[in-house]
Structure 1
Amino acid sequence: MDRKYVDFQLAPDDLTAIRFGISPGHELCHAVRAILRPDEYPLQWGWMRSSQAAIPREDFEVLALLIREEGYFPDFLTTTPTWELTPEAEAERLRDIDDDRFEVDMTKVLVRSDGARRIAVQHMLDQPDRARAMIAEAWLSVWNSAIAPVWTQLERLLRADIAVRSRRIAESGIGGMVGTLHDRVAWADGAVRVTMRIWSEVVDCHGSGLVLVPSVMGATGCFVLTEPPAQPTLFYPAQGVTATWARDAGGVADALGALLGPARARILLDAHEPRTTSQVAHDTGLAISTASHHLTVLRDAGLVASTRDGARVLHRRSPLGEAMVGAVL
């Protein structure tokens, strides 16, 4: 049998050919699949034990109807990998899906359905405005009950993975980094090649680039988006995900505290967004001079990066700091 590949062809001289993103939608879709097929998601058992009972059944069933245990689910659920999109903005985006895009994606779901599922999907196609509102409400409801309580831990793992991958690009180039994403992903003649089960395709990424998106929930393999208007996207399992990733943030703080001391651990954990020394002092209840001393120690260790913004100096976790926090998780 001939092997099947999706080749994302990149421009060799385009320094922006690869960028990274985070997809709340992808995490939520695979959270739904983990609940539907728990035996195939052992790394999510701890998360499921703590969250599953709180998920509203009717809202979950709306998403489960579209996502199912395997196979295709609507591209519009995962097509906005970014750094800043909030859950509320993601839900609002789902309310405003273009009519043509909604019809195309839902028709793909329809042809893969039978029985009661097919009837329900057809009802959605027949009433697109109502269906979009229902999907958006279900998305936000399941997010708030299932993902929001652990989003801090989950996002740290995603950002830590991106930090490590970015550093690897600097050290060994795009090809060297791509070869470490997953055993189904390789660098081949200027293309990111993903081994597939069903089809082969060559995707021209010249001008658009390729978005690489790590995933904690989707740790079972790689997934691709290749059809416009979605930007070419490859979802891959984030590294460093263990069965304890969803443990309470207090446990993470304790572990880092044993290494760095409680004050520096708190500063490092909160440094996912840029803050001034005064803001760090206020958030931690420290004197400005004490906060400044701890920031200096963290900066000298390479865990925090400080940059000037006009008259202000802003402090944020460095790639090494992201990797450390992710490793503790």
Structure 2
Amino acid sequence: MDQKVEFRLTPGDAQAVRFGISPGHELVHAIRALARPVDHPLQWAWLRASRDRAPRPAFTLLRLVVGESGYLPDFLTPPAGWTASADDERERIAAADPDRVTVDLGKRAARTAGAESRTLAELAQHPAEALRAVVEAWQTCWEALLAPWWPRIERVLQADVNARSRRAALEGVGAMAAGLHHDVGWSADTVTVRLTAHDEVVDCGGRGLLLVPSVFADRCFVLTEAPSVPSIFYPALGVTAEWADGSARRADALAAVVGSGRASLLHVLATPSSTTEAARAAGLAISTASHHLGALRAAGLVDSRRDGARVEHVRTPLGEALVRG
């Protein structure tokens, strides 16, 4: 039987409706897609390319903590930000309150049975150790499963936000929010999200409402528990069964031509980044990234420009064409 979550808005909340992007939310739903591929047909191209890359111990732990459906531990999805990187999100997860970790793992234990429930209950008794293990598994799975696809995923998410923002500007926030998904309704002071097993009334209380598009989510999810900002995660526009098709082959081909380090930087530089930011995102030493950026700039694939004391690098149209194949 369908249930619903009602987000009660004050005038201040309605003015504070905003968008965010969450690498962590994408990762936990990628874990669920790997756990139950039959339930995620839009991810099959990604699944075919990723299933043999899953690092087993790390994947096994995250699958246990995340679950295959239903309740998702809140500490794994901290409030999304527009410029959030995987590193930022991992650090915020690592900083979670141990008491919250205990509560969230306890909720997961109560929703399972047998050995899984006992293991989750044991983890809940040692939250600091459990959190360290989960964060390590998170990073391992991120690097293996999502980092190679993140530039493409991020473009889809940003395109969704751009389209929603245009609609809000032309038709109003209410029309935009009501068009997020068929399970979302909007009235003057309430946003309603139909769910399968969650019934709650949330007073946003001046905290606003965060809207987060997702490539991997196949339906809407919510984040309601304080101190988090009330959030609605919804399927992004333009996600088809082909969204990941061919991306791994193109990435491998590009790396064969320009080298893996330079290929990683080209993927990262879909948006302007400093040398330090690009190096961190590509997993390179700053000195190595600086050397590669000089070569890419000389080849006309990257443009560098100064903004005050900051130097930013971004792909040129030629670099964009090379990445897109």
TM-score class, shorter-chain normalisation, is 0.7 to 0.9
TM-score when normalising by structure 2: 0.77
Q: Residue in 1 aligned with 2:189?
A: 190
What's the CA shift string for 1:66-124, capped at 9, x where partnerless?
Answer: 11211112111112311333323333333332121111111111211211001111221
SS in 2 for 1:195: strand
AA partner of residue 78 (structure 1): T
* CA gap 1:15/1:195 in 2 versus in 1, 3 angstroms: closer
User: Structure 2 matches for 1:59-208, cutoff 5 A?
Assistant: 59-208=58-207
Q: Matched residues in 2 for 1:238 and 1:19: separation?
A: 15
Q: Matched residues in 1 for 2:270 and 2:137: separation?
A: 32
> Which residue, 230, 234, 237 being the options, matches 2:235?
237
SS in 2 for 1:72: coil
AA partner of residue 82 (structure 1): G
Deviation at 1:251, TM superposition (A): 6.0
What's the CA shift string for 1:141-200, capped at 9, x where partnerless?
Answer: 111100011001101101111111111111111111012111001112322211123343
* CA gap 1:313/1:61 in 2 versus in 1, 3 angstroms: closer
SS in 2 for 1:70: coil
Q: Matched residues in 2 for 1:145 and 1:6: separation?
A: 35
Q: Matched residues in 2 for 1:125 and 1:8: separation?
A: 30
- The answer to whether the 8 A contact 1:17-1:205 is kept is no
Q: Matched residues in 2 for 1:49 and 1:240: separation?
A: 20
* CA gap 1:51/1:312 in 2 versus in 1, 3 angstroms: closer
AA partner of residue 116 (structure 1): A
- The answer to whether the 8 A contact 1:94-1:135 is kept is no
Q: Matched residues in 1 for 2:57 and 2:31: separation?
A: 13
> Which residue, 224, 227, 232 being the options, matches 2:225?
227
TM-score when normalising by structure 1: 0.76
Identity percentage of aligned residues: 45
* CA gap 1:12/1:86 in 2 versus in 1, 3 angstroms: same
Structure 1: state its 5+ residue gaps: 253-266, 293-307, 318-324
* CA gap 1:181/1:41 in 2 versus in 1, 3 angstroms: same
What's the CA shift string for 1:246-298, capped at 9, x where partnerless?
Answer: 2328869xxxxxxxxxxxxxx9x9552279xxxx99855477xxx89xxxxxx
Structure 2: state its 5+ residue gaps: 252-265, 275-292, 316-320
- What is the root-mean-square deviation in Å for CA atoms of aligned residues? 3.6
Q: Matched residues in 2 for 1:77 and 1:35: separation?
A: 18
AA partner of residue 228 (structure 1): A
Q: Matched residues in 2 for 1:281 and 1:163: separation?
A: 32
Q: Matched residues in 1 for 2:94 and 2:162: separation?
A: 33
AA partner of residue 209 (structure 1): G
SS in 2 for 1:194: strand
- The answer to whether the 8 A contact 1:153-1:249 is kept is no
Q: Matched residues in 1 for 2:270 and 2:112: separation?
A: 46
